[in-house]
Copies of this chain bind each other. A is one copy, B any other.
Amino acid sequence: MSEILPPRGYKKEDTEKRKEWLEKKTGFHLNEAGPDNPEDLRGIIENHVGFMHLPMAIAGPLLISGTYAKGEYYIPLCTLEGTLTMSMTRGLFLTHLSGGIKTNHIKQELSRSPIFIFNDIDKSKQFISWINEHFDDIKREAETTTSHGKLLRIDKYPSQNSVILDFIYYTAEASGQNMVTIATHKACRFIIENYKCDSGFRYYIESNFNGDKNPAYKSLLLGRSHYVVGSALIEGKFLRRLLRVNAKEYVDGWIQCTRGSQEAGIFGMNMHVANALTAIYLATGQDVASVVENTGGIISYEVRNSDDLFATITMPSITVGTVGGGTRLKQARKNLEFLGCIGKDSSKKLVEIVCSCALALELSLGGAIVSDEFAFSHAKYGRK
């Protein structure tokens, strides 16, 4: 059974052994790429002076049955938090033993939300009508700027003397933040040039309403970028063996965690999905600042079949891509290839992997807290 888990150890030869094991196991050399050429960094960073070498590890294997991701995956992680890789591996192993993780990719919609400000509150309805009537023109303008993005619809939010237009796009394999900015700007220029209002109006390309780089209830409710759900049914015997708790104890512990979260006014309902997201984002060239908008997942646990644990996670916002931006970095591309996340629907596949790993890491942490081994494991793995 241990053959499916990477060999452990901190010595140079351990790392070498792991790389060999990985190659044998998966056929992949993960890390032979040298640093990227400065010329290739255009569009990614300005004023480049060098590189930060973030240590990379391997967790897994994840066994997944998703809408797009299916099969077994080893997960490249970049993290500076000792324990994280071990803990995610434990969670993944636990779900692997129990048949793996299921995921359901619900939708993918990214928005930009310009605000149009009028002199008075009574201009909104007429403006909204005009937008509805000219949707085809606006869509055409927006889409001239992108070969892959599609403007799905424009949601309208009138408020005070203004109207926010939430331009909602399908961004295909791209995370798409720049795509929706540029497309929406083009569309807004069309609106400004063609819409007439006696008392005038002005606009800003962004009102902060779209939730870019912010935790937002709107994103929790309506989704932002990828919206995905995951679950695992853990057999009681594996739960007891690996986490040293039973299902009822686990759920009892989780209830206390929801109380603490409610009292503290926590956004979302999870312990640390931010950790899993950060580690995978870093390894796959994602914009890791997006984790703040993606962190609001909702987790719940219930006892099933009297002894098993049914764990579910809803992640209404995962803002990742498999083309463009940092995914062009050599190592990021290599890692995406390693995950099979290249080509059509690869962004959705990546999202399902991210969601599963977040669930696995939560499962393991929950176990550590309930069994009171949390401090011990951090003393062991989190210190020199």
Question: B125 near A47 (CB under 8 angstroms)?
Answer: no
A64 lies within 8 A of chain B by Cβ: no
Within 8 A of B (CB), among A75-91: 76-86, 89
Report A23-34 CB contacts with B as 1/0, cut-off 8 Å.
000000011011
Name the contact of A212 in the complex, choosing from B14, B106, B272, B379 (C-beta under 8 A).
B272
| Docked complex Cα distance between A376 and B189 (Å) | 12
How far in angstroms is the closest Cβ of chain B from A95? Answer: 14
The interface residues of chain B lying within 8 Å CB-to-CB of A48 are: 10, 14-15, 18, 55-57
Question: A82 near B43 (CB under 8 angstroms)?
Answer: yes
A241 lies within 8 A of chain B by Cβ: no
Question: A266 near B211 (CB under 8 angstroms)?
Answer: yes
| Docked complex Cα distance between A292 and B273 (Å) | 10
Name the contact of A263 in the complex, choosing from B206, B220, B272 (C-beta under 8 A).
B220
Question: B46 near A18 (CB under 8 angstroms)?
Answer: no
Question: A54 near B55 (CB under 8 angstroms)?
Answer: no
Besides A49-B57, A214-B267, 19 other CB < 8 A contacts? A10-B39, A42-B82, A43-B383, A44-B82, A51-B53, A121-B229, A121-B231, A159-B314, A160-B300, A182-B379, A206-B369, A207-B257, A208-B258, A208-B264, A209-B264, A221-B221, A259-B300, A278-B288, A292-B292
Within 8 A of B (CB), among A159-216: 159-162, 164, 178, 181-182, 184-186, 204-216
Question: B160 near A312 (CB under 8 angstroms)?
Answer: yes
Question: A378 near B256 (CB under 8 angstroms)?
Answer: no
Within 8 A of B (CB), among A1-53: 6, 8, 10-12, 14-15, 18-19, 22, 30-31, 33-39, 41-53
Report A52-79 CB contacts with B as 1/0, cut-off 8 Å.
1111111100000000000000001111
